[in-house]
Amino acid sequence: MTSLFDLFVGVRGSKGLLAEEWVVMAVPKRSTSKAKSRSRRASSWRLMAPAASLCPTCSSPKRPHYVCPSCGYYKGRQALEVEA
């Protein structure tokens, strides 16, 4: 990945043995575009589908760590009574 920052390295008095290298602090190479900062801020608002797994008892989709809504089983035992 290309760096957003450039170290400015200069050489002063570059004649023979008097050459002296100096470095100033890192400075952004270009300002962050509107699209870049807006998409960064929008990432916290993004809607995500809830995690899904298959029930080991009835193999219908359910949320992990939740009682299965279709058979009422959790950890291999009947945790809820579900009307058929």
Task: Assess 54 for contact with Zn ion (CB under 5 A).
Answer: no
Give the span between the Cα atoms of 75 and 59, in whole angstroms: 13
Amino acid identity of 29? K
Task: Copy the structure tokens of residue 71.
Answer: 């058979």
Minimum distance, C-beta of residue 48 to Zn ion, in the bound complex (Å)? 23
Task: Assess 58 for contact with Zn ion (CB under 5 A).
Answer: yes
Query: Quick one: which segment of 6-14, 15-23, 28-36, 57-65 binds Zn ion (CB under 5 A)?
Result: 57-65
Interior CA angle at 71 toward 60 and 49, to 5°?
Answer: 45
Region 5-44 residues binding Zn ion, contact defined as CB under 5 A: none
Minimum distance, C-beta of residue 71 to Zn ion, in the bound complex (Å)? 3
Compute how many residues bind Zn ion; rule: CB under 5 A.
5
Residues 6 or more apart whose Cβ sits within 8 Å of residue 74 = 66, 67, 68, 80
- What residues line the site for Zn ion (CB under 5 A)? 55, 57-58, 68, 71
